[in-house]
Homo-oligomer: A and B are copies of this chain.
Amino acid sequence: MDKKTVGLSGGFKGQTTPKSFIKNAIKGTKHTIAISSAKGGVGKSTFAMNFALALKAVGSKVGILDADIYGPSLPKMMSINEKPKSEDGKSMVPVDQYGVQCMSIGFLVDEETPMIWRGPMVTSAIKTFTQKVLWNDLDFIIVDMPPGTGDTQLTFAQEIKVDGVIIVSTPQEIALSDVRRGIRMFDKLKVPILGLIDNMSFFKTEDGKNYNIFGEGGVEKLCIEYKKKFLGKIPINIDLRVAADGGTPLVEKDPDHKISKLFIEIAKKIKKNNF
């Protein structure tokens, strides 16, 4: 190492090389699809909920596992206010909403309670959700991943058979740096990437003018760079946001909306090409 500059010490570097692990499917489910973004706030949870409902709309049995322990979005986006039932005090029955089986840390604590937890506690919660929830005969479980490349991602990659990841990003340069790191993490951990979504792609005003608020074309370029599939663009849309805030995702609330149709197209494509 150059005496005048510093990098990571050898010990730290070693930690980025993964060992190999035995991976099992989540019990009661056929396929696990993780929705990831590395960066937060790119509309990943809105995508996850609508994508899950789109898979249901095309005939699959679907569950959603909200793996974002620090910032669970599922309870609000799917308007669920009940605690999961338990027959034996150990396992949990997922909560059914709009015909989808759901689980979130937000079901176990009230909405405003922060989970001020260090990593090992997060890992333990993720293990509970993947091992102690009685998912029932699902074709797909959609996992809404937290931002980052830490405990939750590692736990899934090492212990769960994840059939594929969909990476959601806005086209903004600074978001794309995080996505690059996300792609390299999943490649390194040998989790297949199904493709990338360009979210909040543009904003169309009432008089039909398009604004590339977050830039343009960045996600497509990244797909070429890393040889990943480009799964499509979803524009910024106020109906989509209002439906998520209101507790009924747009695909469920208004399946004929042009944005809902985009989700249904993506769901069909994913099913046809991968499963």
Contacts and interface: CB of A to CB of B under 8 A. Distances in A.
A6 B82 CA distance: 10
B150 A118 contact: yes
A184 to B, nearest CB: 5
Interface in A56-92: 70-71, 73, 76-77, 82-86, 89, 92
A76 B112 contact: no
A244 B177 CA distance: 13
A119 interface: yes
A148 B38 contact: no
Nearest to A17: B116
* Total copies of this chain within the assembly: 2
Interface stretch (A24-32, A39-47, A251-259, A261-269): A39-47
Interface in A1-52: 2-8, 12, 15-16, 18, 38-42, 45-46
A6 B87 CA distance: 10
Nearest to A40: B40
A109 B42 contact: no
B214 A209 contact: no
A152 B199 CA distance: 28
B203 A211 contact: yes
Q: What does DSSP make chain A's interface, helix, strand, loop or mixed?
A: loop
A116 B188 contact: yes
Contacts of A15: 116-117, 121
Interface in A172-230: 172-175, 177-178, 180-182, 184-185, 188-189, 203, 205, 209, 211, 213-215
Interface of A: 2-8, 12, 15-16, 18, 38-42, 45-46, 70-71, 73, 76-77, 82-86, 89, 92, 108-109, 111-123, 146-151, 153-154, 170, 172-175, 177-178, 180-182, 184-185, 188-189, 203, 205, 209, 211, 213-215, 236, 238, 241, 244-245
17 contacts: A4-B85, A5-B82, A6-B85, A38-B114, A40-B41, A41-B42, A70-B150, A71-B178, A114-B181, A116-B150, A116-B154, A116-B189, A118-B151, A148-B148, A172-B245, A211-B238, A215-B241
